[in-house]
Amino acid sequence: MSEAAAQVVHFNATLVPHRSLSRSGFRVLITVLVAANLVIGLPIYLLGAWPVIGFMGLDIALVVVLFRLNYKSGRLTETLQLTDHDLVVTRIDPEGLVEETRLDAYWLRVEMDDPPEHESRLTLISRGNRLVVGRFLTPDERLEVAQALRAAVRRLKAPTYEHRWDDAG
């Protein structure tokens, strides 16, 4: 068995950006926008102001394009995996490009303001290397990840051992 396969995972988290509107909600929103534009635009068209319909179509197209860009940026993920030797941070950007960073687990420090502020960053530091993770999370979510990772690092640095004492006398 290889050494990498024998390592224990002490912490594993996948961070993804929050999207408050689901795909089905997006379809409902566009349907409502189209219906509202028809209710408003059709009487205006019948009064002779036909260019207004074109502009109303443009605003729906703009909403669709902006939401598609938002959903594309939502495909960003960061995975934090703490093993016996390393913290492996794997980032997958919206285009599918994978970037992996390894930090020495024993020297790992987790920095985060408590209580968090809007501009607070979750920074991982190990042997002079600094890495900011979870930029897309809310400050409270970043603090929650920081606290969980700190606890895992503490457990890793101060292991407890189970002893099996021979009770036979």
Per residue in 116-165, pLDDT (tens digit) is 888 889 999 999 899 999 999 999 999 999 999 999 999 988 867 777 77
Residue at token pair 């009064």: 47
What is the domain count for the chain?
2
One domain, residues 65 and 91 = no
Which phi and psi angles does 100 have, rounded to 5°?
-120, 130
**Is residue 109 one of the residues assigned to a domain?**
yes
One domain, residues 30 and 101 = no
User: Is 101:80 a contact under the CB 8 Å cutoff?
Assistant: no
Report the SS3 class of residue 123: strand
Residues 6+ apart with CB under 8 A from 35: none
Report the SS3 class of residue 143: helix
One domain, residues 83 and 144 = yes
Q: Quote the pLDDT of residue 6.
A: 64
Q: Quote the pLDDT of residue 19.
A: 82
One domain, residues 69 and 136 = no
One domain, residues 60 and 98 = no
Domain containing residue 134: 3-17+76-157
pTM, whole model, 2 decimals? 0.73
**Is residue 168 one of the residues assigned to a domain?**
no
One domain, residues 69 and 81 = no
Q: What CATH number is attached to the domain comprising 134?
A: 2.30.29.30
User: Is 102:121 a contact under the CB 8 Å cutoff?
Assistant: no
Q: Quote the pLDDT of residue 1.
A: 46
Residues in the chain: 169
One domain, residues 143 and 126 = yes
**Is residue 169 one of the residues assigned to a domain?**
no
User: Is 38:53 a contact under the CB 8 Å cutoff?
Assistant: no
**Is residue 117 one of the residues assigned to a domain?**
yes
Per-residue pLDDT of 11-63, as tens digits, reads: 999 999 988 888 899 999 999 999 999 999 999 989 998 888 889 999 999 99
**Is residue 165 one of the residues assigned to a domain?**
no
pLDDT band, very low/low/confident/very high, at 167 (cuts 50, 70, 90) = low
Per-residue pLDDT of 84-127, as tens digits, reads: 899 999 999 989 899 999 999 999 999 998 888 888 899 999 99
Please say if the pLDDT value at position 3 is more than 60: no
**Is residue 29 one of the residues assigned to a domain?**
yes
What are the CB-based long-range contacts (under 8 Å, 24+) for 157-164?
157/106
User: Is 103:111 a contact under the CB 8 Å cutoff?
Assistant: no
